Structure 1
Amino acid sequence: MVPPDSVLGVIPTWVALYPLALIAFGTAGFILYHRVFRLILLGRPADRFDQPIRRIVGAIPLIFGQSKVLQRVSLRRDLAGLAHFFIFWGFLSFTASYVVFIFGDAVWSQFSETILTDTGVRVAAIYLDILATIFLVVLVWAAIRRWVTTPRRLSFDLTQKWESAIILLLIAGLMLLSILAEAMYVASGGDGPTAAAIFGGALGNALSGMGLSAELANALHAVSWWGHVVIILGFAVYIPMSKHIHLVGAPLSFVFRSLEAPGTLSTPLDLETAEVFGAANVRDFTQKQLLDGYACAVCGRCTEVCPANISGKTLSPMHIAENLKEHLLEVGPGTARGNGSHDDAKPLIGPWIGQEALWDCLTCGACVQECPVGVEHIDLIVDMRRNLTMERAEIPETGMNALMSMEQRGHPWRGTTYTRTDWAEGLDVPTLAQHPTAEVLFWVGCTAALEKRSQSVARSMASVLKRAGVDFAILGDEEGCTGDPARRMGNEYLYQIMAQQNIEIFTRYDVKKIVTTCPHCFNTIKNEYPHLGGNYQVLHYSEFVADLIAEGKLKPLVTIDTTLTYHDSCYLGRHNGVYEAPRKIAEAIPGLELREMERCRDRGFCCGAGGGHMWMEESRGRRINHIRTDQFLETGGDTVGVSCPFCLQMFEEGIESSDSAPEGTRAKDLLELLDESLGPS
């Protein structure tokens, strides 16, 4: 856009433009500091300044490639990511053009042609003109999608606010005024490379042909140009006060993202000296957690895929992040001024974030996986659970019973009469005490050892390892719970005690390699024990056994005629990226036909047992395992294959409770099927 020469023929354009810009950008900076950065700094420092090169390089495709935004693009079902990608790059293009064609040319009319050349300006004019026209089409589509067709993720109260309408109107205004300014410039007799705009030029020529005078066109050009500038500067002031602060928050969120496996929780190492356990007010959260509220784009993607929300429960991950931000905006200014009483007078948990929502969470990671701006919902929720559990002892009764059992008996299975080694009776499985030089420690886990149905999986695992000639042993009665259920239910203190006990045992036996059948044990020992000094090679059985099959040490020969639909465990798949190994085991079994559910792999749907819910009753909405069972039944499979003892129990109960499950429908662990296919030992 060519700037007008002056304002009212008196004041040079740049003399009016630069003070206005200084005021606008200064105001935006003031708001940004007082409303955002000053409040974020109230949080605890987060250890997220390590590996700066890795952080920045890894953030580039997330920010500029919009890889998280585009991950679910479908030409048939969802074009929103593609539209956002276009809007993002269009925004960057116009921002760059403002530096050259508005702020540069306003000072010196030849600025753009000097740095871009005549051809460059011509190309830029055509590009921006086409971009503005496409922008208008995309904005119309976006408005129809948001307020007419309205997908589920845009139907929540937060996604229905008029902020989105304001932004759409402002962007539309910018695009219309951009085209109009070009049209009026051409109609007033303007020429040169900037007059090359296709749509703007055609409109200008048409208006000129209809009798629009050059004088009026020149005046309208000035009005359009200044209108465009006013909206730009208004944008700069409005963004720090709106949900579109995510334009600032999201890039920072990506740079300061966790570099650990997605299923890894933070580990507070100061429990003995901590004044407060968990998080209850703004100073208890980390700066990254407070930043996440500003990064949130209120797009609804997280809540749309949340199993708890889908099943009719209170939890909405989007509301967790947004309500923390709103609470911060409410109490933060007073806290920053030194008036800490605001935190005590206006608590977060209760008025802003309900306890029910916090206990609904399965820690399945679907929200984190879908979030396009890097919000880490699980850490937020678990930190608040830590406060409820360790500070207030406010935890669902069934969850408290499991924690008490862990404290008293070393496992969460209250009421079981089995010992740690009953499952191995007659199998001649050695313990490390008997065979301390074993190459592999088979970590059985509480569920496979102490829950009757899951004991079959432990027996199959021992059988498979023996057939492959693996030198292994178990801990037997020396094995304790990894502490995972306690940690996910908020009792960090109990978790760390149990973890340290296990690490001491591993150290005593000089354990190097651990294989387990439980994804929850796998995730905890592999990703979280290193925080406490426990570093081992940890494999889920699916990885270990798939390698044994590939090496020819296991040869399934017995045909199993079944149609198997595989269910991805959250802590194996989404949290640790193990998708192919279980499927390779299934594909190696003769006669087995493998099918997939619509929600599979990183889009998998939780069985309902994560986050301690194996021991917490669902009191609201529909049972999550029943929803997942229905998704399995829709595939027409007669067997649902799992690789997790929790998932196994959830599907068995779901199939039993289903009126639509055909006779013979069953849930089986892949190990059981493999053991059967290997034939008699």
Structure 2
Amino acid sequence: RYVVRPPRLNTMLENNVLLVLLLASALSGFVLQSLRMAATEMEPTSDLYSVASAYWSPFSYVIAVGIRGLGFTVYAMEVSHFALWWAHAGLMSATFVYAAWRFGPLMHIFVSPLNLVMRSSVTRPKGALRPMGDLDTLEVFGAREITDLTSKQLLDYDACTNCGRCQDQCPAWRSGKPLSPRKLVQDAKAYMESRAPVLLAQGPDAEPPPPEVDLVHGAITTEVLWSCTTCRACMEACPAFVEHIDSIVDMRRLLTMEEADVPEGAMNALTSMEQRGHPWRGTQATRTDWMEGADAVVMSEDPEHDVLLWVGCTAALDGRGQQVARAMASVLKLAGVKYRVLGSEETCTGDPARRMGNEYLFQMMAEQNIETLNGYEVRRIVTLCPHCFNTLKNEYPQFGGNFEVTHYTEFVAGLIRDGRIRPTKAVPLSVAYHDSCYLGRHNDIYEAPREIARAIPGLELVEMGEGRCRERGFCCGAGGGRMWMEEQGTRVNHIRTDHFLDTGADAVGVSCPFCLQMMEEGIGAKGQEGSKSAKDLLELLAESLNEA
């Protein structure tokens, strides 16, 4: 912190005061021990005389030799020991009181264990956001005041050690955007500490005075809130179990549902979701265009099925994504899987709406999809998109939608293990695999995609450099609604593209339609489209199955 300080650390006055107190406590402890040793173990007239045992405390022994050299009498040493004992006890007490009351980094010693017990994964799946409850009964949508925050969120702010590990992993911060997860939590904590005494001084029925500075727009700016990709890198890095995403989304809910203070691109996506059932404003494609030549059957024509393939908005409506959907259809056909698709009855799961703060739109879309799925008695769903997978699997149960949901990587890896498909054609490529945030950190699926890649003959699987894979994988920049927002600073996907290019691999392998778009754009922006490419694992597998 003082000699070779990592950029994520910032030294404040409280740091210096605490370190001085700790140093003084340690030194006084050594002097205290030295006085005892000088008056007993090093005093020939003492019953405890044993110079040999004093050698086992070398630092205190050196000080004790100095004390005896000054000619102190045994009585003087005993009196000094008594006085210093109380001074040392007072100093230690002052250190702990100061650390717990005034300074967070040691307060976390007491708060972090409680934060561990109260972590959200105890009560809901890792990838699920906190439900808002019955929207008809809420007086405020989102977090306007600290009273709108949950006890877990307030505990998060006290538990934060200000260590900066979250900031160090944050793709928004590393790409020059205004969001620092560390600063966001510290700013929220400062607001809480300034506002809490005012609220506590009021009676339970009294109307508290308005704050001098608002939580949102004041303590925390809208630019900070809209910079988040909800990639969960901050939460994975946090040693105190702080859950940054819940706080950010609750503040976004205020901006979206109360104030309509939403970036233009995000608002266009939300409007398109409300009017057309998908976020891709301007597209002329339909939900069934990708099916041309794919031999897929819609549920309304023949509802008998073993598996429902949830195609998702991007795979159905984006030209590049449609290639992946067709590859999946060919794999399922070759494996003999009896699958169906919803076709025009499929609408967006609502994931972008929820992450951007429009809980009302999300719940409306979720309830509509659950009704459709229950109408066809769907039990097992396979998704192409990790975002659809996370929402259907982890968030739809909050509204009564209980289905067996699998991402295609796990499903296809199972088909390979069971021998239902056998990749035989060599695909002579070196492929650096990019972990999707919503498949990896949000749902802990890391091995299945690699299992598919390793099953393809001729394919060399390469990991991203600098440990930027698996739990420490770097976001593509599209999550949390960022796909539809303009970027400040360096584009996140360009940083991730650099990670890929540094490996020297021929292609970057993905398992998410958003990641595919972002990596292809990054390769083009770097002028590497002729020599490098982005491929979904399904495309590589279909090629190896002679079904490209």
- Please give the alpha-carbon distance, in whole angstroms, between the structure 2 residues aligned to 1:342 and 1:546: 59
Distance 1:509 1:202 in 2: 82
Which residue is 1:49 aligned to?
none
Contact 1:308 1:361 in 2 (8 A): yes
Equivalent position of 2:152 in the other structure? 288
Moved more, 235-244 or 588-597: 235-244
Distance in 2 between residues matched to 1:302 and 1:212, nearest whole Å: 56
Taking the aligned partners of 1:522 and 1:322, their CA distance within structure 2 comes to 33
Amino acid at match of 2:182: M
* 2:164 pairs with one of 281, 286, 300: 300
Correspondence list, 1:266-285, <5 A: 266-285=130-149
Give yes or no for the alignment of 1:241 onto 2:92: no
Contact kept, 8 Å, 2:478 with 2:518, in 1: the verdict is: yes
Match of 2:470 among 601, 616, 620: 601
The answer for the alignment partner of 2:66 in structure 1 is 207
Residues 282 and 343 in structure 1, CA contact (< 8 A), matched pair in contact too: no
Q: Distance in 2 between matches of 1:184 and 1:646?
A: 69
1:109-137: per-residue Cα shift (whole Å, max 9, x none)?
xxxxxxxxxxxxxxxxxxxxxxxxxxxxx
1:170 counterpart = 2:37:
no
Q: Which of 191, 204, 216 lines up with 1:327 in the alignment?
A: 191
Provide the rounded CA distance (Å) in 1 between the counterparts of 2:523 and 2:80.
Answer: 70
Q: 1:582 to 1:183 in 2, by over 3 A?
A: same
Q: Which residue of 2 aligns with 1:51?
A: none
Is the Cα–Cα contact under 8 Å of residues 249 and 294 in structure 1 kept in the other structure?
A: yes
Q: Which structure 1 residue ranges, 5 or more long, are not aligned? A: 1-145
CA distance in 1, matches of 2:531, 2:167: 35
Match of 2:410 in 1: 543
Contact 1:262 1:365 survives alignment (8 Å): no
Once the two structures are TM-superposed, the CA of residue 204 in structure 1 deviates from its matched residue by: 5.3
Q: Does 1:147 align with 2:147?
A: no
**Partners in 1 of 2:479 and 2:268 — Cα distance?**
17
Give how far 1:314 is off: 0.4
Matched, 1:617 2:472: no
Select 1:184's aligned residue among 35, 41, 50: 35
Distance in 1 (CA, whole Å) between partners of 2:303 and 2:422 is: 29
User: Which residue does 2:381 correspond to in 1?
Assistant: 514
Relative distance call for 1:287 and 1:640 in structure 2 (3 A) is same
Distance 1:553 1:472, change over 3 A: same
**Residue type at the aligned position of 1:566:** Y
Are 1:256 and 2:124 an aligned pair?
Answer: no
Amino acid aligned to 2:329: A
| Farther-moved stretch of structure 1 (420-429 vs 538-547) | 420-429
> Alpha-carbon deviation of 1:232?
1.6
The superposition leaves residues 295-330 of structure 1 with CA deviations (integer Å, 9 ceiling, x where unpaired) of 010001111111001111100111111111111111
Which runs of structure 2 are paired with 1:98-117 in the superposition (5 Å)?
Answer: none
Q: Secondary structure at the match of 1:575?
A: coil
**Aligned mates of 1:497, 1:621 — CA distance in 2:** 35
1:502 equivalent in structure 2: 369
Change (3 A) 1:340 1:301: farther
Question: Residue 182 of structure 1 contacts residue 197 of structure 1 at CA under 8 Å; is this kept in 2?
Answer: no
Where does residue 234 of structure 2 map in the other structure?
Answer: 367
Select the residue among 611, 629, 644 that pairs with 2:497: 629
Measure, in 1, the Cα distance between the counterparts of 2:426 and 2:158.
Answer: 55
- Equivalent pair of 2:390/2:438 in contact (CA under 8 Å): yes
* Cα distance in 1, alignment partners of residues 177 and 196 from structure 2: 30
Q: Which moved more, 1:225-234 or 1:631-640?
A: 225-234
What displacement does 1:201 show?
Answer: 5.2
**Following the alignment from structure 1 to structure 2, what is the Cα–Cα distance between the partners of residues 150 and 234?**
27
Is 2:31–2:60's contact at 8 Å kept on the other side of the alignment?
no
Deviation at 1:434, TM superposition (A): 2.3
Task: Using the TM superposition, give the Cα deviation of residue 654 of structure 1 relative to its aligned residue in structure 2, in angstroms.
Answer: 0.2
Q: Which runs of 5+ in 2 are unaligned?
A: 42-47
1:340 positional shift:
4.1
Moved more, 535-544 or 189-198: 189-198
The alignment status of 1:555 with 2:416, answered yes or no, reads no
Of 663, 668, 674, which aligns to 2:535?
Answer: 668
Q: 1:344 and 1:500 mapped to 2: Cα distance?
A: 38
Worse-matched range after superposition: 517-526 or 314-323: 314-323
In structure 2, what residue type is equivalent to 1:601?
A: R
Q: Does 1:226 align with 2:86?
A: yes
Structure 1 residue 471: Cα displacement: 1.3
Give yes or no for contact 2:306–2:380 (8 Å, CA) kept in 1: yes
Give deviations 1:231-282, integer Å, cap 9, x for gaps.
1210232121212322222121111111233321011121012111011111
Cα deviation for residue 679 of structure 1 reads 1.0
Q: Distance in 2 between matches of 1:192 and 1:526?
A: 72
Task: Tell me the secondary structure at the aligned position of residue 462 of structure 2.
Answer: strand
Question: 2:414, 2:457 → 1: CA distance?
Answer: 18
> Which amino acid letter does the alignment assign opposite residue 252 of structure 1?
L
Query: For 2:432, what is the secondary structure of its paired residue?
Result: strand
Rounded to whole Å, the distance in 1 between the matches of 2:255 and 2:530 is 44
- Is contact 1:331–1:342 with CA below 8 Å preserved after alignment? no
Amino acid at match of 1:587: R
Q: Deviations over 1:404-461 (max 9, x none)?
A: 0001001001111111011011222111222322010000000000011111010001
Residue by residue, what CA displacement relative to the aligned partner does 1:51-100 show, whole Å, maximum 9, x if unpaired? Answer: xxxxxxxxxxxxxxxxxxxxxxxxxxxxxxxxxxxxxxxxxxxxxxxxxx
Secondary structure of the corresponding residue to residue 430 of structure 2: strand
Asked if 2 retains the 8 angstrom alpha-carbon contact of 1:263 and 1:365, the reply is no
- Report the Cα distance in structure 2 between the residues aligned to 1:399 and 1:679, rounded to whole angstroms: 40
Counterpart of 2:437 in 1: which secondary structure? coil
What's the offset of the Cα at 1:197? 5.2
**Aligned-partner Cα distance in 1 for 2:154–2:405:** 33
1:662 Cα offset (Å): 7.3
TM-score with structure 2 setting the length: 0.94
TM-aligned CA deviation for residue 210 of structure 1:
2.9
User: 2: CA distance between counterparts of 1:588 and 1:413?
Assistant: 34
1:121-178 deviation digits (Å, cap 9, x = unpaired) = xxxxxxxxxxxxxxxxxxxxxxxxx022111211xxxx22121222222222222222
Closer, same or farther: CA 429–227 of 1 in aligned 2, 3 Å: same
For 1:549, what is the secondary structure of its paired residue?
A: helix
For 1:235 and 1:474, the matched residues in 2 are separated by 64
1:395 maps to what in 2?
262
* Structure 1 pair 192–228 and aligned structure 2 pair: CA distance change class (3 A): farther
**Structure 2 CA distance for partners of 1:374 and 1:573, relative to 1, 3 Å:** same
State the 1:196 CA deviation: 8.1
For residues 360 and 680 of structure 1, the distance between their equivalents in structure 2, rounded to whole angstroms, comes to 40
Q: Secondary structure at the match of 1:633?
A: helix
Match of 1:453 in 2: 320
8 Å Cα contact 2:295/2:329 also seen in 1: no
